[in-house]
Amino acid sequence: MLIQLKHIDKIYKAGQVDVPALIDINLQVERGEFVAIIGQSGSGKTTLLDIVGCLSRPTSGEYWLDGDHVNSLPDASLTGIRNRKIGFIFQTFHLLARKTALENVQLPLMYAGVSRKAQQDKARELLTRVGLQDRLLHYSNQLSGGQQQRVAIARALANSPPLLLADEPTGNLDSQSGKDILALFEQLHHQGQTIVMITHDPLIAERAERRITLSDGRIVADEPAYQAAPVLG
């Protein structure tokens, strides 16, 4: 089991007011699963992904990630876990604009202490895997949205994390680029990658093999998604 959440609550404080964003979340995700999280705006999707990604801590409840009991670990250990175990993909890509595609993908490898030559080789290999072998030296602001998201996916894969987390990865893309990115996620899934992806697009959620619905901070459905035919380019 890769992810296990037990009785997770998250309560934000907004001034004097308590905002319960997650209420009694119980969730298990096995290695190799492709899970979509859906729900209306404000239902708690990002809060849940942030907890799973060790970017924030639950108010109460227990969380195990890949065997580690996250609750008991100090912040410094969580940073290490994030770097080694999780690749993040965001709606707005979060690339460094004045760096090339290659440099953006090299960055997490540099932080991991990989030699410069090995960084470049690995970054080139990953960018080829996402179909950007002819854009290695483009600055990220010279790339289309879909291409920028491919760079972000290559970067997320740099340290071969067991878990990919994506928050609305197609939310800023035109529909064709969104389909292409989704096809890329499906390809990674078929290669064994565990993926948890937030989306508000029901058509995209259908592509995952499991669909979890949040409403007002609670899981109200957890079901196998309808398996449509593969997305064609």
Ligand X SMILES: Nc1ncnc2c1ncn2[C@@H]1O[C@H](COP(=O)(O)OP(=O)(O)O)[C@@H](O)[C@H]1O
Q: Which residues bind Mg ion (CB under 5 A)?
A: 45-46
Nearer of residues 50 and 103 to Mg ion, judged by Cβ = 50
Provide the token pair at 31: 């290695």
Q: How far is the CB of 215 from Mg ion (least distance, A)?
A: 14
Sole binder of ligand X in the list 41, 67, 117, 229 (CB under 6 A): 41
Structural contact between residues 10 and 22, judged by C-beta atoms closer than 8 angstroms: yes
Per-residue CA distances from 52 to 86, 126, 138, 187 (Å)? 9, 25, 33, 23
Nearer of residues 46 and 119 to Mg ion, judged by Cβ = 46
Q: Is the dihedral of CA 153, 167, 138, 113 positive or negative?
A: negative
Q: How far is the CB of 166 from ligand X (least distance, A)?
A: 13
Provide the token pair at 149: 């998201």
Nearer of residues 45 and 124 to Mg ion, judged by Cβ = 45
Neighbours of 169 (CB within 10 A): 27
**According to CB under 6 A, which residues from 42 to 81 bind ligand X?**
42-47
Q: Residue 39 binds which entry of ligand X, Mg ion, none, with Cβ cut-offs from 5 to 8 Å by kind? A: ligand X
Q: Residue 106 binds which entry of ligand X, Mg ion, none, with Cβ cut-offs from 5 to 8 Å by kind? A: none
Helices (H), the chain: 45-52, 75-85, 101-111, 116-129, 145-156, 175-190, 202-205
Asked if 21 is part of the footprint of ligand X (rule: CB under 6 A), the reply reads yes
Residues forming contacts to ligand X in the complex (CB under 6 A) are: 12, 14, 19, 21, 39, 41-47
